[in-house]
Amino acid sequence: MPPPSPLRLPTFDDIERAARQIRAAAHRTPVVTSTTVNARTHAQVFFKCENFQRAGAFKFRGAYNALSQLAPDQRRRGVVAFSSGNHAQAVGLAGQLLDIPRVIVMPDDSPAVKRAATSDYGAEIVLYDRMANEDREAIGLQLADDRGLAVIPPYNHPEIIAGAGTAARELLEDVGPLDLILVPCGGGGLLSGTALSARALAPGCRVIGVEPAAGDDATRSFRTKSLQTVRNPVTVADGARTTSLGALTFPIVLAHVADMVTVDDIALLRAMFFLWERLKLVVEPTGALAAAALLEGSVDAKGARVGVILSGGNVDLSEIPAWRAMTGPAEAGHYA
């Protein structure tokens, strides 16, 4: 099954349909506030906690939306996905719930916790070496051809983007109009879906994407208005190590996103540990990207009502000593 046509851009109507499609399966995740964060940023901040979503990340929304709409014969044959972890887990769990066979192409250096969870959900894992420049998409397409599988890419798919957009839809329903929403960005699925929801439900809201500094392809694409790439960026934000925006996400980002910013790994880890220690929210590095941009002052939020999407919480705890060595001792006081 070929990837979706780049001409079929999703709309807010697709997000509305996705919300109905996933309602019985996905969690309506909580929104958390903090007087400490509000005082630090001089803003009213609302954290949308997708770290509490099923499979530990927002990715479940899109995966379930896409898989649940497959035709019966395709459900029997199964699907193939490629992912460093969160999309892998999401497809693994969604396929388990829907009784759809699934094969997941994962890098051999993906976090062990994400590989273990994907396997526990019953998915078949095919490993590849990204440091040897093996192409995960090419591997997935070959498996699709060989086995008759439907390709479920991590972000460049209308139903994936629509499902991701339901997180911001819920946030705006729960807290009302916002002036600003900050969103982690890898391939741009969550950012695109958020921008579509914000445009429909809060037209005055500015949506800003946040990338790791080492993987700034979307930021460069946004600035130059031409698609830029990056290969194997070295960053703790493993969920944002994508090579580029997609044929679907790029035009949506250009049309509806107000700005893009980046944060370096030290700032990212500092914000992540702050969320752990002061808000008691366990998020993974990629999941803390948007919070880092806010807490580090990369975005001027003074006087604004700000939504911050915490995109996932699948943390590899074995990495904590190395991360602490990068940032120093406890970080909770840094933002006091």
List the single range of 61-75, 77-91, 129-143, 220-234 with lowest mean pLDDT.
Answer: 129-143
Over 80: is that where the pLDDT of 155 sits?
Answer: yes
Q: Closest by alpha carbon to 104, among 154, 53, 65?
A: 154
* 272 phi and psi angles, rounded to 5 deg: -60, -45
- Domain 60-151 annotated CATH 3.30.300.30: no
C-alpha to C-alpha distance for 89 and 208, rounded to whole angstroms: 26
Give the residue-averaged pLDDT of 195-215: 97
Contact 151, 1 (CB under 8 A): yes
For the chain, where do the domains classified as CATH 3.40.50.1100 start and end?
Answer: 12-58+158-335, 60-151
Q: E strands of 122-205, at which residues?
A: 124-128, 150-151, 180-184
User: Which tens digits make up the pLDDT trace of 279-295?
Assistant: 999 999 999 999 999 99
Q: Which CATH number fits domain 12-58+158-335: 3.40.50.150, 3.40.50.1100, 3.30.565.10, 3.30.465.10?
A: 3.40.50.1100
Return the axis-axis angle of helices 265-278 and 320-327, rounded to nearest 10°: 110
Indicate the pTM of the whole model.
0.94
Q: Residue 202 in 3-state DSSP?
A: coil
pLDDT value for 17: 98
pLDDT for residue 4: 43
Q: Stretch 16-27: mean pLDDT, rounded?
A: 98
- By annotation, the residues acting in catalysis are 59, 84, 211, 215, 217, 311
pLDDT at residue 85 greater than cutoff 90: no
> For the residues 10-39, what does the mean pLDDT come to?
98
The C-alpha angle 182, 186, 192, rounded to 5 degrees, equals 60
